[in-house]
């Protein structure tokens, strides 16, 4: 945390370099703001500084409705929908769509299935199902290259529900069956 004088100088300048680095709490209004807040500057005698929005709220202050300090840079809310997509991608990589549905994934993220699909279209350029399929095929390709496991085992370890779906996905992407992709050992 910066010292009082550094915070105060940054607040008075409305310095964007300090946005999200500290929060200004005003004792007379019991509101806390970001250092870049466009409201009329409070008297220095009435302010105190906190390192996080949570710390200001813990001290009894409520967020400013103008500068929305709870969405300051470096917090998940500030990243907006990118955070939701990043969380979804982690869950998909962990196999959320190998056994579950897009609706179940969306419910885990606190959004609707249609909204999640729109977010993926905007941020990833593909649907959640297409993304999961690409990740499955990538896992399968690595297993084909790095192991001597039977193709049936690879299909299930990569997250496919059946060998038939695995073969169809591979044939569609590579134009040949998975067994022909495997590098000969030796």
Is 75 a residue of the active site? Answer: no
- Which of these, 125, 97, 94, 90, lies nearest to 113 by C-alpha position? 97
Question: Could you give the CA distance from residue 167 to residue 28 in angstroms, rounded to a whole number?
Answer: 68
Give all strands of the β-sheet with 47-50 in edge-to-edge order.
Answer: 47-50, 23-26, 31-33, 62-63
Among the listed residues 64, 72, 91, 132, the single catalytic one is 64
**Catalytic one of 26, 31, 36, 37:** 37
Q: How far apart are CA 42 and CA 44, in angstroms?
A: 6
Among 67, 85, 119, 132, the active-site one is 67
User: Is the CB of residue 105 less than 8 Å from the CB of residue 84?
Assistant: no
Distance CA 72, CA 95 (A): 32
Do strands 31-33 and 62-63 pair parallel, antiparallel, or not at all (unpaired)? parallel
Is 33 known to be catalytic? yes
Catalytic residue among 7, 25, 31, 33: 33
Q: How far apart are CA 74 and CA 71, in angstroms?
A: 8
- Which of the residues are catalytic? 33, 37, 64, 67
């Amino acid at each position: 945390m910066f010292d009082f004088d550094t915070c105060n100088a940054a607040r008075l300048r409305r310095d964007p370099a300090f946005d999200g680095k500290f929060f200004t709490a005003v004792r007379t209004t019991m509101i806390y703001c970001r250092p870049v807040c466009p409201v009329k500057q409070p008297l220095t005698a009435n302010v105190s500084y906190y390192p996080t929005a949570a710390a200001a709220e813990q001290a009894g202050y409520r967020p400013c409705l103008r500068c929305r300090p709870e969405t300051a840079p470096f917090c998940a809310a500030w990243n907006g929908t990118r955070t939701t997509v990043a969380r979804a991608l982690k869950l998909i990589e962990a196999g959320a769509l190998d056994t579950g549905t897009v609706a179940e994934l969306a419910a885990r993220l606190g959004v609707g299935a249609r909204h999640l699909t729109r977010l993926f279209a905007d941020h990833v350029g593909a649907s959640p199902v297409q993304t999961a399929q690409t990740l499955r095929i990538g896992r399968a390709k690595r297993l084909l290259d790095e192991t001597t496991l039977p193709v049936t085992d690879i299909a299930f370890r990569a997250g496919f529900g059946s060998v038939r779906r695995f073969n169809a996905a591979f044939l569609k992407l590579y134009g040949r069956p998975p067994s022909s992709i495997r590098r000969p050992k030796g």
